[in-house]
Chains A and B, each alone.
Chain A
């Protein structure tokens, strides 16, 4: 009986592998395709005679060399990094304060503020990019990366506040009450007692804010016009197409290299993310 159950289980597991396989191919093939495209010589890339699934005529790095020597890729990279770090720092600090107050303190209108922040969380940036472009030009920030540092927190704050609130709620009140009885002020209690316990939440919020800002496209496309001030996704999409011609080798090389940092960040922090989901941050 036990043996039969074991056999059934093995069969079921094999069936599951076959079930997962199409998903993995759907998921990964585009990236594989981008990778081999970026390494193929143009003569092979634009030849209908060759088999497209692997590289037959040898690997070339010319598309990558082009990125570094003839395009502003490194500048875009620097811009993206600067904007992402600054806007993440701003958002997470502001969100820690707000989330703590909303989760812990009793004050009039707490529920209203909470609901308001949630409503903003769902407000898509595609609804606001036109009026925001006017606000940015009124502030004299058009075509500067500061326009992005200023506007990105507007979608990152609601998100991280919401996520951190869920975390703060899971921390027992008694911990900080003890700290305050022992003579800590509220701020000291937060910094020394609550934050260390909430580290997974803070890390998740930071990771996500960073991810959101690395991903952002429409604001960067709308507010910035000079080539040297662009961020990676806009730079690659808009500037690597010369005239109307798509140079697929360098386009794919750029798209992949621009994604590498965020993928690395994510791999290191995936477990935090998963535990964040299970802790009820998004439910």
Chain B
């Protein structure tokens, strides 16, 4: 096998990226699988344990709750972000006085580091001084205030609320960019044919946005299900381990308690979903390249 000149140049140019990713993503990934199949504990070499970690996990109450949380959380947050992002993008689509301000204001939650902005939310959910509860009590909507982070169901909803807050800008801005690529003539032609706003949205906007929506949805699903920062800062998985996601439980099990093997096994539950998303994304991209 002989390499042409162009091929040699190409391999040289791509080598640093491939090596970096091989040693810091590929190798750790294999290591994760290896760890998950062993009973290693921090500071002590382990031995091969087969699927013991996975079987143990499947029987643990905390893990079952966590897996349930992951799906409930991801599903609700992604749907909310999609709907709100779409509404916002449609509202911002035509030029409006002050549109630059709106764009910047809307993007802010996405620009500020999540761990830090979530601290602000934690303070807004404070058991005694919550500003949201202050409003609820003063307006008579609630007499004692809502136990935002103290009660499992409310804590889950709070986490969804913060994740949605953080993620709407990403949806809105991408959908907005997608809207801008739809030719105006299509709408004008539809208007001539007597189409109303709803028909135009269903027959023109939605079909033409499909590639953007698919990409944003898949991407956001991965990012949402693998979230760590919001749960870590808001609840640390509490109350009573009821709000863990896979990443926070992996952190607690693998690092705080030192069961590295079990922690790695928990993280790996993200992998099947990841494979699916990569597969679909690549399909979308290929189709685009062929055009």
- Interfacial residues, chain A to chain B (CB-CB below 8 A): 13, 16-17, 19-20, 23-24, 26-28, 30-31, 33-34, 37, 45-46, 48, 52-53, 94-95, 97-98, 100-102, 105-108, 110, 113, 115-120, 122-124, 126-135, 150-151, 153-154, 157-158, 161, 186, 211, 214-215, 217-218, 221-222, 232-234, 236-237, 246, 248, 251-252, 254-256, 258-259, 262-263, 266-267, 270, 274, 277-278, 282-283
Interface 0/1 of B91-122, CB less than 8 Å to A:
11010100000111111110111111101111
Please give the distance in Å from B273's CB to the nearest CB on chain A: 10
Contacts of B219 on A, CB cut-off 8 Å? Answer: 122
From known contacts A97-B16, A154-B24, A283-B288, infer whether A251 and B177 are also in contact, taking CB-CB under 8 Å. Answer: no
From known contacts A20-B91, A48-B129, A233-B115, infer whether A130 and B13 are also in contact, taking CB-CB under 8 Å. Answer: no
- Given A127-B268, A158-B21, A233-B113, 20 additional A-B pairs, CB 8 A: A19-B91, A23-B91, A52-B134, A95-B17, A97-B13, A128-B29, A131-B29, A132-B24, A215-B114, A217-B115, A232-B113, A233-B115, A246-B122, A246-B123, A252-B119, A255-B117, A259-B112, A259-B116, A274-B103, A283-B211
Q: In the assembly, what is the distance between CA of A255 and CA of B109, in Å?
A: 13
Please give the distance in Å from B261's CB to the nearest CB on chain A: 9
Contact of A98 among B13, B121, B178, B254 (CB under 8 A): B13
Q: A16, B123: Cβ atoms under 8 Å?
A: no
Residue in B closest to A237 when the chains form the complex, CB atoms? B115
Q: A19, B87: Cβ atoms under 8 Å?
A: yes
Q: Which of B52-60, B71-79, B198-206, B222-230 contacts A (4 or more CB under 8 A)?
A: B222-230
**Closest 10 A/B residue pairs (Cβ):** A124-B226, A126-B247, A98-B17, A131-B31, A277-B177, A105-B10, A154-B24, A107-B10, A101-B13, A255-B116
B157 is an interface residue with CB less than 8 A from chain A: no
Contact of A255 among B120, B131, B251, B263 (CB under 8 A): B120
Q: B247, A28: Cβ atoms under 8 Å?
A: no
Q: In the assembly, what is the distance between CA of A164 and CA of B17, in Å?
A: 13
From known contacts A107-B11, A277-B177, infer whether A124 and B222 are also in contact, taking CB-CB under 8 Å. Answer: yes
Contact of B215 among A217, A236, A251, A283 (CB under 8 A): A283
Residues of chain B from 251 to 291 with CB closer than 8 A to chain A in the complex: 251, 254-255, 260, 263-264, 267-268, 270-271, 274, 277-278, 281-282, 285, 288
From known contacts A118-B281, A277-B174, infer whether A27 and B106 are also in contact, taking CB-CB under 8 Å. Answer: yes
From known contacts A122-B281, A124-B270, A127-B267, infer whether A16 and B91 are also in contact, taking CB-CB under 8 Å. Answer: yes
The number of residues on chain B lying at the interface, defined by a beta carbon within 8 Å of a beta carbon of chain A, is: 94
Residue in B closest to A18 when the chains form the complex, CB atoms? B91
Q: B267, A126: Cβ atoms under 8 Å?
A: yes
Q: B107, A131: Cβ atoms under 8 Å?
A: no
Residue in B closest to A277 when the chains form the complex, CB atoms? B177
Contacts of A246 on B, CB cut-off 8 Å? Answer: 122-123
Contact of B120 among A17, A33, A119 (CB under 8 A): A33
Contact of B177 among A46, A102, A154, A274 (CB under 8 A): A274
Please give the distance in Å from B69's CB to the nearest CB on chain A: 14
B14 is an interface residue with CB less than 8 A from chain A: yes
Contacts of B232 on A, CB cut-off 8 Å? Answer: 217, 221
Contacts of B91 on A, CB cut-off 8 Å? Answer: 16, 19-20, 23
A-B contact pairs, 24 of them (CB 8 A): A23-B106, A24-B102, A27-B165, A28-B108, A30-B120, A34-B120, A34-B123, A52-B131, A105-B9, A107-B7, A110-B10, A122-B222, A126-B247, A127-B268, A128-B29, A130-B267, A132-B24, A161-B17, A217-B115, A232-B116, A237-B233, A251-B123, A252-B123, A283-B215
Q: A31, B112: Cβ atoms under 8 Å?
A: yes
Q: In the assembly, what is the distance between CA of A128 and CA of B274, in Å?
A: 13
Contacts of A48 on B, CB cut-off 8 Å? Answer: 128-129
